[in-house]
């Protein structure tokens, strides 16, 4: 499972057990007081066995914005889920998601929905992580 953590929403993507098909699961409200529990419910329901968290790095590889919040959340999630946790550079994942939405002919109204962008960005993060093993 991959997460595109955001201050407002977190995009979620999953892949099949063979690690070949990536699909967007949806988004959750990061500000929700039960956010961590909701993520844990998805993990249990979907039988997730590894976590990939997008970490924003700048072009020089330096830490990006929200890095501390993402790492704090990741530590809490790892402790609660007892699953292996991996970080994947998420630089430009949102702009890549928007470009992909345009390329596939998604209507402008739907492209403006931030939840769509976050869900697709999570897919990109997961696919990038999976591709790193090829």
Is 70 exceeded by the pLDDT of residue 119? yes
**pLDDT given for residue 133 in this prediction:** 83
CATH code (residue 41): 3.30.420.140
Q: What domain count does the chain have? A: 1
**pLDDT given for residue 97 in this prediction:** 76
- The domain of 84 spans 2-131
Dump pLDDT digits (tens) for 20-38: 999 999 999 999 999 999 9
51 and 77 Cβ atoms separated by less than 8 Å: yes
**pLDDT given for residue 67 in this prediction:** 83
Is 80 exceeded by the pLDDT of residue 56? yes
Question: Among residues 112, 132, 129, which one has the least CA distance to residue 54?
Answer: 129
Residues with Cβ within 8 Å of 1's Cβ and at least 6 positions away in sequence, in order, are 12, 13, 14, 25, 42, 43, 46, 48, 50, 51, 52, 126
């Amino acid at each position: 499972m991959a997460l595109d953590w955001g201050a407002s929403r977190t995009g979620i993507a999953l892949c099949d057990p063979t690690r070949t098909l990536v699909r967007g699961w949806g988004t959750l409200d990061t500000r929700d007081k039960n956010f961590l529990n909701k993520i844990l419910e998805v993990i249990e329901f979907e039988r997730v066995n590894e976590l990939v968290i997008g970490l924003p790095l700048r072009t020089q590889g330096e830490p990006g914005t929200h890095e501390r919040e993402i790492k704090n959340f990741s530590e809490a999630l790892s402790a609660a889920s007892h699953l292996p946790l991996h970080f994947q550079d998420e630089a430009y994942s949102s702009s890549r998601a928007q470009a992909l939405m345009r390329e596939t002919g998604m209507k402008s109204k739907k492209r403006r929905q931030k939840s769509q962008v976050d869900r697709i960005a999570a897919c990109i993060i997961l696919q990038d992580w999976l591709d790193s093993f090829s």
